[in-house]
Amino acid sequence: MLSWALTFLIIALVAAVLGFGGLAGTAAWAAKICFIVFIILFVVSAIAGRRTPTV
């Protein structure tokens, strides 16, 4: 998921440099959404991994 966020970020930066404002905004929005989902899944997996199984 983090790799998708970085990919969309690079696409947004290249599009912004080339003057494609609409595409840059959309790619930046997609990068932000992917990064937020990555952070949420990371926190959930970190919390779930710290739990000890009860017998």
pLDDT (tens digit, 9 = 90+) per residue, 27-48?
999 999 999 999 999 999 988 8
Is residue 37 included in any domain, yes or no? yes
CB 35 within 8 A of CB 5: yes
Of 7-11, 39-43, 48-52, the range with the lowest mean pLDDT is 48-52
Domain contains 23: yes
b vs e for 3-41, b when ≥16 Cβ sit within 10 Å of the residue's Cβ?
Answer: eebeebbebbeebeeeeeeeebeebbebbeebbeeeeee
Instruction: State what percent of residues in the chain have pLDDT above 70.
Output: 93
In this prediction, residue 38 carries a pLDDT of 92
Domain, as residue range, for 27 = 2-50
Give domain status of residue 12, yes or no: yes
Is residue 55 a part of any domain in this protein? no
pLDDT greater at residue 31 or residue 1: 31
10, part of any domain: yes
Tokens encoding 2: 């983090």
What is the pTM for the complete model shown?
0.74
- Give the count of domains, the chain: 1
